[in-house]
Amino acid sequence: KQEVTQIPAALSVPEGENLVLNCSFTDSAIYNLQWFRQDPGKGLTSLLLIQSSQREQTSGRLNASLDKSSGRSTLYIAASQPGDSATYLCAGGTSYGKLTFGQGTILTVHP
């Protein structure tokens, strides 16, 4: 059974700082890994999807890496902004898309 853990549970940084969010998973047979952000009272927004054959994906100021052998993924956010404040979730996916989610990292970027 896949288990996903995210560290830290919460993070508060000043605007402009670069930061890394960590995600670990127990089953290396992961098919893909997806990062989401969740804003209070709203649904999830997909940020990046990394297939198991890939090592990383980039979108704007976001970069996500995947290391299946060590069971880890990281989400790197460059030059953080207050608008980046949200809960960040990582989820490991099976071959048909069933996602197992971590508990999330609550990010606060203060001006």
Partner 1 sequence: GAGVSQSPSNKVTEKGKDVELRCDPISGHTALYWYRQRLGQGLEFLIYFQGNSAPDKSGLPSDRFSAERTGESVSTLTIQRTQQEDSAVYLCASSLVNLEQYFGPGTRLTVT
Q: Which residue reads 């960040």 in tokens?
A: 88
Do 28 and 90 touch, CB atoms closer than 8 A?
no
24, 25, 30, 34: residue in contact with partner 1 (rule CB under 8 A)? 34
- Please confirm whether the linkage preceding 8 is cis (ω < 30° from 0): yes
Instruction: For CA atoms 57, 59, 60, 61, give the dihedral sign.
Output: negative
12, 18, 46, 81: residue in contact with partner 1 (rule CB under 8 A)? 46
Q: Which stretch binds partner 1 (CB under 8 A): 10-18, 62-70, 78-86, 99-107?
A: 99-107
Binding site for partner 1 (CB under 8 A): 31-32, 34, 36, 42-46, 49, 89, 91, 93, 95-104
